[in-house]
Amino acid sequence: MISLGIESTAHTLGIGIVNEKEILADVRDTLKTEKGKGYLPREMFNHHLEKFNELLFKALDEAKIDLKDIDVIGFSRGMGIPNALRVGAFFARYISLTFNKPLVDVNHGVAHIEIGKWLTNSKDPIIVYLSGGNTQIISLVNKRYRILGETEDIAIGNAIDEVARFLNFEMPGGPKIEELAKKGKKYVEMPYSVKGMNLSFSGIVTYVKKLIKEGKYGLEDIIFSFQETIFSMIVEVSERAMAMLEKNEVLLVGGVAANKRLQEMFEIMCKDRNAELKVVPQKYAADNGVMIAINALLAYKHGYSINIENSSIKRNWRVDEVEIIWI
């Protein structure tokens, strides 16, 4: 069975093709911005529209198949930027209609989780989903990915990018912040904001910007302390979730999972608890079409598809709104 997935929730347009066992194609293109600038929704829309055909045929070439060979088509329906989501949804519906293929709407967050499980052979983890738009501690309970803790304001990736933008770094700013943090040595006290199982990052971003402007501490030390603090907050909440649900596995997913210091901090916590840390391979931590294809295949194999009339995008579609019929 062959599944084609289209990812278009934000800056990346991705097309992936998989069968039950392997990845047949993985093509992506990410919108670039000028230094210090954020993404504009209409620029994402134009980018995805302009790139779609090229990427689709590249993916089909890579997989050595034709559109008629696919069994199911999946698209990321949300959560995401409406202008960006609409492009993927439009082409998915078009292919579904033209080639008479079943259509599966995929939740972007659930897809990040499923590709993480697929690639790391993770079974029943506490999932720590850290990306540009999401920060959630999740576990599967009664066929839903329940959100045990989450950010109350901005996502952790967003917080990192905001500091990076302030420093005029290219977007996404994560790798540059990680590099800079490595050079820091002295910890500067920062606001630490954990409320029960929830987190907050906007206060620390404001504080970091203020410290940078003041120039009292070295930039490397500030960024080091910023990173240490936000990652400690994540590890604390994740550990509490593990203890509460008696889980001995953690799965890190989302773009921020690529950070080596974050992984190291989780390693230390897991070792302490005799638990196992699994991290989605870096290449698949970022947004991609493969994860959408995998999720669509899982759902379709369990009898799920939707009608085009019911396939409008869902900008705020949370992971806990999806019934996980395939587990």
Residue ranges binding ligand AMP (CB under 6 A): 131-133, 157, 160-161, 172-175, 178, 254-256, 258-259, 286-287
Q: Is 8 in the site for Mg ion (CB under 5 A)?
A: no
| Residue 178 CB, nearest approach to ligand AMP (Å) | 4
* Type of residue found at 36: G
Residue 178 binding result from ligand AMP, Mg ion, none, given CB thresholds of 5 to 8 Å by partner type: ligand AMP
Q: Please state the separation of Cα 197 from the chain's center in Å.
A: 20
Taking the least distance from each CB to ligand AMP, the nearer of 95 and 156 is 156
Q: What angle do CA 29, 201, 112 make, to 5 degrees?
A: 40
| Residue 127 CB, nearest approach to Mg ion (Å) | 13
Binder to Mg ion among 8, 131, 193, 238 (CB under 5 A)?
A: 131
Helix (H, G, I), strand (E, B) or coil at 306: strand
Q: What angle do CA 325, 144, 321 make, to 5 degrees?
A: 95
Residue 151 binding result from Mg ion, ligand AMP, none, given CB thresholds of 5 to 8 Å by partner type: none
Is it true that the peptide bond before 172 is cis, omega within 30 degrees of 0? yes
Q: Quick check: 43 and 13 in contact, CB under 8 A?
A: no
| Residue 154 CB, nearest approach to Mg ion (Å) | 15
Residues comprising the chain, all counted: 327
C-alpha closest to that of 233 among 133, 156, 140: 156
Q: Could you give phi then psi for residue 78, rounded to 5 degrees?
A: 160, 175
Residue 162 binding result from ligand AMP, Mg ion, none, given CB thresholds of 5 to 8 Å by partner type: none
| Residue 285 CB, nearest approach to ligand AMP (Å) | 7
| Residue 189 CB, nearest approach to ligand AMP (Å) | 22
| Residue 153 CB, nearest approach to ligand AMP (Å) | 15
Exposure string of 243-272, with b = 16+ CB inside 10 Å and e = fewer, is eeeebebbbbbbbbbbbeebeebbeebbee
| Residue 283 CB, nearest approach to ligand AMP (Å) | 12
Number of C-beta neighbours around residue 228 at 10 A? 17
User: What are the E-state strand segments in the chain?
Assistant: 3-7, 12-18, 23-30, 72-78, 103-107, 126-130, 135-141, 144-150, 194-195, 198-199, 249-253, 276-279
Taking the least distance from each CB to ligand AMP, the nearer of 23 and 181 is 181
Q: Quick check: 88 and 111 in contact, CB under 8 A?
A: no
Residue 56 binding result from Mg ion, ligand AMP, none, given CB thresholds of 5 to 8 Å by partner type: none
Taking the least distance from each CB to ligand AMP, the nearer of 242 and 256 is 256
Segment near Mg ion (CB under 5 A); pick from 14-22, 68-76, 188-196, 284-292:
284-292
Q: Is 287 in the site for Mg ion (CB under 5 A)?
A: yes
Residue 172 binding result from ligand AMP, Mg ion, none, given CB thresholds of 5 to 8 Å by partner type: ligand AMP
**Structure tokens given for 219:** 């930039």
Taking the least distance from each CB to ligand AMP, the nearer of 5 and 133 is 133
By CB under 5 A, the count of residues binding Mg ion is 2
**Structure tokens given for 70:** 């696919």
**Structure tokens given for 11:** 């800056």
Taking the least distance from each CB to ligand AMP, the nearer of 7 and 239 is 7
Taking the least distance from each CB to ligand AMP, the nearer of 125 and 172 is 172
Taking the least distance from each CB to Mg ion, the nearer of 70 and 87 is 87
| Residue 219 CB, nearest approach to Mg ion (Å) | 28
Site residues, Mg ion (CB under 5 A) = 131, 287
